[in-house]
Amino acid sequence: MRSVLFFLFSLALTAAIAQSTAQKRAARLGLGMNLSYLEGYWNGTRARHFSDFVKPDEVKARQQGLTDMARAGFKTVRIPVCFGAWASLDKPYRWDAPAALAAPDSLLNWALANKLTVIIDLHHVEFDGSIPGADSTDRVVWLWQQLAERYKHTDPDRVLFELRNEPHDMTADAWRMQANRLIETVRGIAPNHTLIVGFHDWNGRDAMLRSEPFADPNIIYTFHFYDPFIFTHQGAGWAGAGLPDLKNVPFPANPATRITVPASAKGTWIERAIANYANEATYNVVFQRIQAAKTWSDAKGVPIFLGEFGSYNLNADPDSRCRHAESIYVALGRFNIPSA
């Protein structure tokens, strides 16, 4: 009995130590930025499953951006990378464009040289959803086998692995099964690196609130926050019918401002969201929704990270965009939630 109790105590102690590592690394993330570039598979050729989307002569231009982030006081950079564009679609999997891996390697090294903590994020592994097998579990596992081997010698205090950006069009159980395989795969190669893991339904906050943490204790849980969506995505051509034609939506809600419902949005959820906008687009609602994420974090005893937020600049006025960002930063600061 004594030996059994000692074993259980050892397991609990190990978990506590590892979890404190995740908490410590989450606190170190602080204020972060996303470096948008290496996720842009759409700049490639579909017939080559987009493997040619990166132009080598454009990579160097991002070095100054990383320096600017560090000088501005940011502590972390999240680097979204569509690694899947450079790998074959059929088994046996292989790198079709291995030379392209020099691009994320360069961004990683430049970020570390600027003393930034780096999140390597597997982004858009599903592309636009039209290529069968692109996001099969076996393929994503293979990708993480390669990435964990490639980056296992990096400092685990400075480099974190985000397993998959915004899993979607899959059930919670299906994502949990895939995520567990990815966690097991990375842990067998890079046992000390902290993982960043979100949940189904586009890393949505609500999906996180309905979910339980994974068994691995060295995880930071991520969510994305684009509320109110018709403000943050007005004019966005990729976000659904009606949104490309939506414009002049202010933040916070202004009862004196009439929001015109585009013809393309008639009868859709966008029309309903416009009707309810005065109730959704307030500082208090933003604060309460981020507070709910913090409550989940505290209840589960796990750290969280807001991996994406912001607003599209095409049809939103700059003052509203600043007020929206301010509302989020106020809540993040109040609850000590790191972000990018």
**Phi and psi angles of residue 41, each rounded to the nearest 5 degrees, phi first:** -55, -30
Predicted confidence band at 4 (pLDDT cuts at 50, 70, 90)? very low
Q: Residue 106 contacts by C-beta under 8 Å, 6 or more apart in sequence?
A: 59, 60, 63
Q: How far apart are CA 43 and CA 135, in angstroms?
A: 19
Beta carbons of 287 and 331 less than 8 angstroms apart? yes
pTM of the model: 0.93
Contact 52, 44 (CB under 8 A): yes
Radius of gyration of the chain (CA): 21
The mean predicted confidence, pLDDT, of the chain is: 94
Which of 288, 329, 289, 301 has its CA nearest to residue 205? 289
Domain boundaries defined on the chain? 18-225
- Arithmetic mean of pLDDT, 310-329: 97
> pLDDT tens across 214-253, in order?
999 999 999 999 999 999 999 999 988 889 999 999 999 9
Six token digits for residue 94: 């292989």
Euclidean distance between CA atoms 156 and 49, whole angstroms: 32
Report residue 257's pLDDT band, with 50, 70 and 90 as the boundaries.
confident
Tokens of 123: 């982004």
pLDDT by residue (tens digit) across 273-307?
999 999 999 999 999 999 999 999 999 999 999 99
- At the topology level of CATH, where does 18-225 sit? TIM Barrel (3.20.20)
Pairing of strands 117-122, 159-162: parallel
Distance between CA atoms of residues 123 and 116, nearest Å: 20
